[in-house]
Amino acid sequence: MANGSGGGSYPSGGGGGLRMSNNINANNLNTDSSSSPVNVPKMDALIIPVTMEVPCDSRGQRMWWAFLASSMVTFFGGLFIILLWRTLKYLWTVCCHCGVKSKEAQKINGGGDTQADGACKPTDEKEENVAAEVGWMTSVKDWAGVMISAQTLTGRVLVVLVFALSIGALVIYFIDSSNPIESCQNFYKDFTLQIDMAFNVFFLLYFGLRFIAANDKLWFWLEVNSVVDFFTVPPVFVSVYLNRSWLGLRFLRALRLIQFSEILQFLNILKTSNSIKLVNLCSIFISTWLTAAGFIHLVENSGDPWENFQNNQQLTYWECVYLLMVTMSTVGYGDVYAKTTLGRLFMVFFILGGLAMFASYVPEIIELIGNRKKYGGSYSAVSGRKHIVVCGHITLESVSNFLKDFLHKDRDDVNVEIVFLHNISPNLELEALFKRHFTQVEFYQGSVLNPHDLARVKIESADACLILANKYCADPDAEDASNIMRVISIKNYHPKIRIITQMLQYHNKAHLLNIPSWNWKEGDDAICLAELKLGFIAQSCLAPGLSTMLANLFSMRSFIKIEEDTWQKYYLEGVANEMYTEYLSSAFVGLSFPAVCELVFAKLKLLMIAIEYKSEKRESSILINPGNHVKIQEGTLGFFIASDAKEVKRAFFYCKACHDDITDPKRIKKCGCKRPKMSIYKRMKLACCFDCGRSERDCSCMSGSVHSNMDTLERTFPLSSVSVNDCSTSLRAFEDEQPSTLSPKKKQRNGGMRNSPNSSPKLMRHDPLLIPGNEQIDNMDANVKKYDSTGMFHWCPAKDIEKVILTRSEAAMTVLSGHVVVCIFGDVKSALIGLRNLVMPLRASNFHYHELKHIVFVGSLEYLRREWETLHNFPKVSILPGTPLSRADLRAVNINLCDMCVILSANQNNIDDASLQDKECILASLNIKSMQFDDSIGVLQANSQGFTPPGMDRSSPDNSPVHGLLRQPSITTGANIPIITELVNDSNVQFLDQDDDDDPDTELYLTQPFACGTAFAVSVLDSLMSATYFNDNILTLIRTLVTGGATPELEALIAEENALRGGYSTPQTLANRDRCRVAQLALYDGPFADLGDGGCYGDLFCKALKTYNMLCFGIYRLRDAHLSTPSQCTKRYVITNPPYEFELVPTDLIFCLMQFDHNAGQSRASLSHSSHSSYSSSKKSSSVHSIPSTANRPNRTKTRDSREKQNATRMNRMGQEKKWFTDEPDNAYPRNIQIKPMSTHMANQINQYKSTSSLIPPIREVEDEC
């Protein structure tokens, strides 16, 4: 065996070595040390003994230098070429620059034109060639740049593919690292080498693209990615040529991990700065770590070249990774360490850089991971389960109130998941609340103003989005603006999403109408807290205690049973009732609304107060106690008051054939009867039969001509769109033209009701066949505007505020009684609370003008000037500048004779102590309650009588509305003045009543002031969010009851002008007056007196419904009425929806929905049937009532004379008190304030009191019209 010479004569040594090895193996030569020794030349740095690590070379020759040389030659050769090119280019540029300068000098020296022309021609040709060359090179360069810049889909695919192949090459290195550093491998048999070769060919092509696209070739040549290619691509080609593999510097492919964050950004996976920074730090740390481990693995397994590679040690790649980690962390266990000189030298420098990197990168990585949002994930929708998104003001209080009502057990199974989205992480208490409801609640940190966060919570698949407002913020307009921006952001992301938002100020609702995708018809709702809060308070001025009853109806409360016979027992039984909706059974189709109400109440133990009516135009409207002319259609939606949703199902399951004889309502369940739909002719005929009071067989309402036209009618109106009421109304209009065949008694019962109390505003608005009554036609004056353009509110021309301002002396000289005193705290800087929402329900058009209560505002004139722009179109409004804490101001407005005193505060107190937020309202309330009044002032009764139903026979003394009314003791103490106080903080309710024993931790609805209707807090409106989500009709019903008739059309009008617009009286606008209103019915006298003493509530319910179409729904009872001993306490509490057999007492006042009385407004001589409170009908603005009956005139005259004497006495005493409680001089000259009618005798008494130097013009008795 001939020994080859050194590496110099070894160009084909690889192949010769391989052939020698094959020959030796073929001849089974023994290479053991015991055999004949191999002739080894003189040892040098490149020759080592033959070992199993180099099986292909029996001479022990290593070829690592060939692999390294290929990389070095490529790198330095290319660098030399680039520098040489730059040098030549620089010299060429300098030479050309000098030539240009010499030519310019020749031109300046006066060179000939011929020579200049001859020199320009070759120059122009050269410039054209250069321009063409530059254009071609630029195109190729741009193309290459686009290919590698990831600006196009091809470029992104290419960049991602290069990165993926680089990681693949690194994985191949990990696999090959288990083999010797240098080994002989056949390219055609080694699969990993083939794959690595394919990868590197691709890298070479990509390197060419990058080189072409590079602007600066020198810097490109020195880039990290270029250096990686230099030391990894050429050795692969050398391996194929030599059939020998060397691990070498292939570990440098780990440096490609530095681009990992860029790749993820190209794929839109990384979007936030924190995530990009985190990936960058991790990729740099890991790539440096793996690269250094590869170098240690190379030198430790190879050894030092100057030691003839004898000092090597066998270390796996992963042991080197471990070694570098313990070195960077300065732990240094010593179990693994570097033995070679190169390894130790590298470790010295690596410790410096690695320790610094470890000390800086690792803490920052941990900080980024630790600071990563705990609630920063994405919501995963569950199949078959809806979810809603709740955002806005997310606090422990708002979330707990919302969840308490939304997840209440009285609702049907709530298969809805609640997703809260807020930009601030929850505190520990709120986090614990979320964990308690973890099966149905999730929280994510983010903002709805960020589309990325909206995508995280899957807003596009959400059933609705609810936005909560901060009710206690210092700037309500700013809070509303924030919520409006949230609505805009959400609607911009997904226009079809249903949004329910809370708004603080009424005037800010107009901005929602500017959002193109905002559509209230599709379920979008804005719950204006100021509108509803002041509306509730206004209704309490008309019917004290109504605010408490309505608040309890839309709030989910659990039933609390009390055995003791106390007022709390009956109150809590009513609190357990809520408002539900359910479709009515087909058994009710064709029946009138009062008939269905009576049947449902008596048999099903349910209370139905309204229905959803569909007109012939398929327009839905909610009718509250519409009257007996409205017939139930197929699929009518009813509004019920019941204790839970299961009870309401009885109205849907009721079947006359199966359930008619059942007495236990719990047994009314779904039956197996088929319920075929009636034909349109059958439904019309049945409706007419109910109208005329005859049986279907005997009824002749449906003439032959009508029957013959049924086919045409069915083609014109589909069965589902034609209502019973529409058809019956049309037929009824035709019958009115014919002579009636009804008996006089029946005509009085039916015809009379038809004209006055039972018309539906929606029906009269949409049905042209309905003609208003004569009294409405008389009121239609083409030249006078009495109502706004919608006909829903009383209206008057705008008045200057100076004309309604009363001085203290003027107010004292004015006979104010049966009025509403509004004590308002506010100043120039206070936020407006929107007093228009308080006045509008008190100026609803379903009151006649003389029934309107005068409203007197007592407060800062500067604040009221700011509110006056929205109040100047309402009649009967006065202002007394002053302070509600001044008793002189309160006495001047006759607070002891008012129907209601409202205490409000516009001051937003930023006080840390929550108990001080309501200090002004509490002080004013206690101040009024501690006032004392002279008994002689008590002209009117204080706390006894409600209203008298319309339509009764007034000629009978037994049925006279004022028959037997004895004067109750007058109000001598402020504790008996009806007051309702607005509170910000619920816990402050404990300070209003000093005689109650309420625990400070008691919930608001369980406290005595709230149960009595003397306190109201805006927090009770939180329940409307969940109630509106489950049924958007609930909010419409509440707003209809509370606001006095505000409609979306009116809101759009106010959004345009910010004021009510007057309108002329037309049949359509006057028809809008015909709607029901809430009232209180007295039992101790009048037609229901026989039921007041021990009668059943159910009998009263049926009698009121049948006789007067009044729908009773609650009782306002004296607090101590259950006691056997008489009590002087005048406080009352609310009982909602008592059962049928509930026993009544004479002092009860009944909440009811009464019809509009057309006849009450025809003449001032007729009786006023007002419904405004439980205190006195004689306290109305029309204090003189005349009865047509002549039998009662003598007694009435005596009563009037005694009243005038008492009024005169009162005025004399007020003149004496003027010096005590006012600062104005005696000769103050008040204006002629015409607030209520006053007798001439009383005016004379006033004139006699005043001195001749200050004559007071008499207050004339005039008609109360605008």
- 869-889: per-residue pLDDT in tens? 999 999 999 999 999 999 999
Q: Give 811's Cβ-side CA count (13 Å radius).
A: 29
Structure tokens at 857: 């505002």
pLDDT of residue 951: 41
Average pLDDT over residues 197-208: 89
Answer whether residue 100 shows pLDDT above 50.
Answer: yes
In the sheet with 1111-1118, reading across from the earlier edge strand, the strands are 1077-1082, 1149-1154, 1111-1118, 1132-1136
Query: For 177-195, how does the pLDDT look when each residue is reduced to its tens digit (9 = 90+)?
Result: 888 887 777 777 778 888 8
pLDDT of residue 393: 93
Sign of the C-alpha dihedral computed for residues 187, 188, 194 and 197 taken in this order = positive
CA 592 vs. chain centroid, Å, equals 39
pLDDT-derived band at 129, boundaries 50, 70, 90: low
Task: Report the range of poorest mean pLDDT among 523-532, 655-664, 765-774, 894-903.
Answer: 765-774
Question: What CATH number does residue 517 fall under?
Answer: 3.40.50.720
Euclidean distance between CA atoms 1150 and 1174, whole angstroms: 9
Residues 501 and 572 in one domain: no
pLDDT-derived band at 415, boundaries 50, 70, 90: confident
Report the range out of 148-157, 185-194, 253-262 with the highest average pLDDT: 253-262
Position 832, amino acid: L
Answer whether residue 1076 shows pLDDT above 80.
Answer: yes
Residues 770 and 637 in one domain: yes
pLDDT-derived band at 113, boundaries 50, 70, 90: low
E strand or H helix at 620: strand 620-624
Report the range out of 37-41, 946-950, 1003-1007, 1250-1254 with the highest average pLDDT: 1003-1007
pLDDT of residue 770: 35
Query: For 570-581, how does the pLDDT look when each residue is reduced to its tens digit (9 = 90+)?
Result: 999 999 898 989
Distances (CA, A) of 1197 to 175, 719, 890, 1140, 1261: 118, 61, 32, 42, 18
pLDDT-derived band at 64, boundaries 50, 70, 90: confident
Asked if residue 289 is part of any domain, the answer here is: no
Report the DSSP pairing between strands 1149-1154 and 416-422: unpaired
pLDDT-derived band at 1032, boundaries 50, 70, 90: confident
pLDDT of residue 753: 32
Q: Which residue has the tokens 């539906």?
A: 760
Task: Report the range of poorest mean pLDDT among 221-230, 381-390, 1206-1215.
Answer: 1206-1215
CA 457 vs. chain centroid, Å, equals 15
Query: For 796-818, how does the pLDDT look when each residue is reduced to its tens digit (9 = 90+)?
Result: 999 999 999 999 999 888 888 89
List, in sequence order, every residue forming a beta bridge with 1062; answer none if it has no partner: 788
Give me the percent of the chain exceeding a pLDDT of 70: 71
Answer whether residue 209 shows pLDDT above 90.
Answer: no
pLDDT of residue 408: 83
Average pLDDT over residues 243-269: 85
Task: Report the range of poorest mean pLDDT among 544-548, 786-790, 904-908, 1203-1207.
Answer: 1203-1207
Answer whether residue 690 shows pLDDT above 70.
Answer: no
Average pLDDT over residues 1233-1257: 35
Q: Which residue has the tokens 């038809």?
A: 754
Per the CB < 8 A criterion, the answer to whether 1188 and 1095 are in contact is no
pLDDT of residue 964: 29
Residues 586 and 460 in one domain: no
Euclidean distance between CA atoms 457 and 390, whole angstroms: 10
Cα three-residue angle 1104-731-762, rounded to 5 degrees: 55
Q: Which of 722, 723, 570, 648 is nearest to 1135 (CA)?
A: 570
Q: Tell which of 523, 549, 580 closes a domain.
A: 523
Diameter of the chain measured on Cα atoms: 157
Per the CB < 8 A criterion, the answer to whether 781 and 1062 are in contact is no
Answer whether residue 286 shows pLDDT above 50.
Answer: yes
Residues 404 and 468 in one domain: yes
E strand or H helix at 261: helix 260-266
List, in sequence order, every residue forming a beta bridge with 855; answer none if it has no partner: 820, 877
Answer whether residue 32 shows pLDDT above 60.
Answer: no
Euclidean distance between CA atoms 474 and 488, whole angstroms: 23
- Pick 739 or 443 by higher pLDDT: 443
Report the range out of 367-381, 585-599, 726-740 with the highest average pLDDT: 585-599
Query: For 288-306, how does the pLDDT look when each residue is reduced to its tens digit (9 = 90+)?
Result: 999 999 999 998 988 888 8
Q: Is 848 in a helix, a strand, or coil?
A: coil
Q: Which of 301, 289, 302, 237 is nearest to 46 (CA)?
A: 302
Query: For 460-474, how does the pLDDT look when each residue is reduced to its tens digit (9 = 90+)?
Result: 999 999 999 998 888
pLDDT-derived band at 149, boundaries 50, 70, 90: confident
Answer whether residue 982 shows pLDDT above 90.
Answer: yes
Query: For 809-864, how does the pLDDT look when each residue is reduced to its tens digit (9 = 90+)?
Result: 998 888 888 999 999 999 888 888 899 999 999 999 999 999 999 999 999 999 99
Euclidean distance between CA atoms 630 and 628, whole angstroms: 5
Q: Is 182 in a helix, a strand, or coil?
A: strand
Q: Which residues contact 896 (CB under 8 A, 6 or more apart)?
A: 931, 933, 937, 938, 970, 971, 974, 977
Euclidean distance between CA atoms 22 and 57, whole angstroms: 10
Residues 512 and 390 in one domain: yes
pLDDT of residue 1096: 92
pLDDT of residue 304: 86
pLDDT of residue 507: 87
Asked if residue 394 is part of any domain, the answer here is: yes
Asked if residue 608 is part of any domain, the answer here is: yes
Structure tokens at 940: 């009117």
pLDDT of residue 1207: 47
Q: In the 8-state DSSP scheme, what is residue 129?
A: H
Containing structural domain, residue 423: 386-523
Residues 569 and 665 in one domain: yes
Domain count for the chain: 2
Residues 592 and 513 in one domain: no
Q: Which residue has the tokens 């409680």?
A: 1221
Task: Report the range of poorest mean pLDDT among 53-62, 509-518, 993-1002.
Answer: 53-62
Average pLDDT over residues 609-628: 83
Answer whether residue 1192 shows pLDDT above 60.
Answer: no
Give me the percent of the chain exceeding a pLDDT of 90: 27
pLDDT of residue 60: 56
Asked if residue 1241 is part of any domain, the answer here is: no
Q: Tell which of 717, 744, 775 closes a domain.
A: 775
Residues 579 and 478 in one domain: no
Residues 572 and 715 in one domain: yes
Q: Which of 841, 835, 787 is nearest to 1043 (CA)?
A: 841
Residues 420 and 569 in one domain: no
Q: Which residues contact 1159 (CB under 8 A, 6 or more apart)?
A: 756, 775, 950, 1166
Q: Tell which of 716, 750, 775 closes a domain.
A: 775
Answer whether residue 1249 shows pLDDT above 60.
Answer: no
Distances (CA, A) of 671 to 375, 407, 659, 878, 1225: 50, 30, 9, 61, 81
pLDDT of residue 890: 94
pLDDT of residue 614: 79
Asked if residue 210 is part of any domain, the answer here is: no
Radius of gyration of the chain (CA): 47
Q: Which residues contact 703 (CB under 8 A, 6 or more apart)?
A: none
pLDDT of residue 1160: 64
Q: Which residues contact 726 (CB under 8 A, 6 or more apart)?
A: 615, 616, 767
Residues 459 and 390 in one domain: yes
Q: Which of 774, 904, 794 is nearest to 853 (CA)?
A: 794
CB atoms within 10 A of CB 1121: 18
Euclidean distance between CA atoms 929 and 1147, whole angstroms: 23
Report the DSSP pairing between strands 244-246 and 386-392: unpaired
Euclidean distance between CA atoms 976 and 981, whole angstroms: 14
pLDDT-derived band at 536, boundaries 50, 70, 90: very high
Report the DSSP pairing between strands 787-788 and 1062-1063: antiparallel
Answer whether residue 679 shows pLDDT above 70.
Answer: no
Alpha helical stretches, state H, 554-644: 567-575, 593-603
pLDDT of residue 766: 35
pLDDT of residue 1110: 92
Per the CB < 8 A criterion, the answer to whether 209 and 161 are in contact is no
Q: How far apart are the first and last CA of the chain?
A: 133
Task: Report the range of poorest mean pLDDT among 127-131, 405-409, 643-647.
Answer: 127-131
pLDDT of residue 56: 52
pLDDT of residue 306: 84
Per the CB < 8 A criterion, the answer to whether 1024 and 626 are in contact is no
Q: Which residue has the tokens 């022990």?
A: 60
Average pLDDT over residues 48-65: 54
Q: Give 1014's Cβ-side CA count (13 Å radius).
A: 24
Answer whether residue 340 shows pLDDT above 70.
Answer: yes
- What is the reported pTM? 0.67
Answer whether residue 497 shows pLDDT above 80.
Answer: yes
State the DSSP string of 359-393. Answer: HHHHHHHHHHHHTS-TT-S---PPTT-EEEEEEES
pLDDT of residue 772: 38
Euclidean distance between CA atoms 876 and 1108, whole angstroms: 30
* Average pLDDT over the chain, rounded to an integer: 74
Task: Report the range of poorest mean pLDDT among 152-166, 340-354, 643-657, 965-979.
Answer: 965-979
Per the CB < 8 A criterion, the answer to whether 1071 and 761 are in contact is yes
Structure tokens at 416: 């809805």
Question: What CATH number does residue 677 fall under?
Answer: 3.30.70.1450
Q: Is 609 in a helix, a strand, or coil?
A: strand
Buried b (16+ CB within 10 A) or exposed e, 188-198: eebeebeebbe
Answer whether residue 228 shows pLDDT above 80.
Answer: yes
Position 206, amino acid: Y
Residues 697 and 748 in one domain: yes
State the DSSP string of 1077-1114. Answer: EEEEEE-SSSTTHHHHTT-BHHHHHHHHHHHH--EEEE
pLDDT of residue 1244: 37
Backbone angles phi, psi at 328, to 5 degrees: -65, -35
Asked if residue 503 is part of any domain, the answer here is: yes
Average pLDDT over residues 84-105: 78
pLDDT of residue 379: 92
CB atoms within 10 A of CB 670: 11
Q: Which of 1027, 996, 999, 1029 is nearest to 1014 (CA)?
A: 996
Asked if residue 829 is part of any domain, the answer here is: no
Structure tokens at 1127: 């009590």
Answer whether residue 7 shows pLDDT above 60.
Answer: no
Orientation of helix 680-692 relative to helix 724-736, angle to 10°:
50
Per the CB < 8 A criterion, the answer to whether 435 and 405 are in contact is no
Asked if residue 1201 is part of any domain, the answer here is: no
CB atoms within 10 A of CB 587: 21
Q: In the 8-state DSSP scheme, what is residue 592?
A: B
Compute the residue count for the chain: 1266
Report the DSSP pairing between strands 855-859 and 877-881: parallel
Structure tokens at 1212: 């004399």
Answer whether residue 45 shows pLDDT above 80.
Answer: no
Query: For 156-180, how does the pLDDT look when each residue is reduced to its tens digit (9 = 90+)?
Result: 888 889 889 999 999 998 988 888 8
